[in-house]
Amino acid sequence: MGEAMIRGILTKELTTPQDIIVNDINAARLGSLKAEYGIRITDDYGSAIPGSDVVVIAVKPQNLAGLMPELKGRFIHDQLVISIIAGTSISTISAGLGHRSVIRVMPNTPAQIGQGMSVWTASEEVSQQQQGIARSILGALGKEIYVPEEKYIDMATAVSGSGPAYIFLVIEALVDAAVNIGLHHEMAEELALQTVLGAACLARETGKQPKDLRDMVTSPGGTTAAGLAKLEDGGLRDLFMHAVIAAHERARELGR
Ligand X SMILES: NC(=O)c1ccc[n+]([C@@H]2O[C@H](COP(=O)([O-])OP(=O)(O)OC[C@H]3O[C@@H](n4cnc5c(N)ncnc54)[C@H](OP(=O)(O)O)[C@@H]3O)[C@@H](O)[C@H]2O)c1
Chain residues binding ligand X by CB under 6 A are: 1-2, 23-26, 29, 58-61, 63, 66-67, 84-86, 106-109, 161
- 13, amino acid identity: E
Residues 5 and 58 sit within 8 Å (Cβ to Cβ): yes
Q: How far is the CB of 26 from ligand X (least distance, A)?
A: 4
Q: How far is CA 198 from CA 193, 194, 195, 202, 220, in A?
A: 8, 6, 5, 6, 23
Output 2 or 17, the one with its CB closest to ligand X: 2
Cβ-based nearer residue to ligand X, 66 or 235: 66
Beta strands in 74-231 (DSSP E): 80-83, 102-106, 116-122, 142-146
Task: Select 141 or 192, whichever has its Cβ closest to ligand X.
Answer: 141
Give the C-alpha separation, 133 to 223, whole Å: 49
Q: Least distance in Å: CB of 77 to ligand X?
A: 23
Smallest separation (angstroms) from ligand X to the CB of 43: 9
Q: What's phi and psi for 103, nearest 5 deg?
A: -110, 135
DSSP 159-177: IIITHHHHHHHHHHHHHHH
Closer residue to ligand X (CB): 108 or 130? 108
Give whichever of 164 and 191 is closer to ligand X, judged by the CB atom.
Answer: 164
Least distance to ligand X, CB of residue 38, Å: 19
Kindly state the smallest distance separating residue 55's Cβ from ligand X, in Å.
Answer: 12
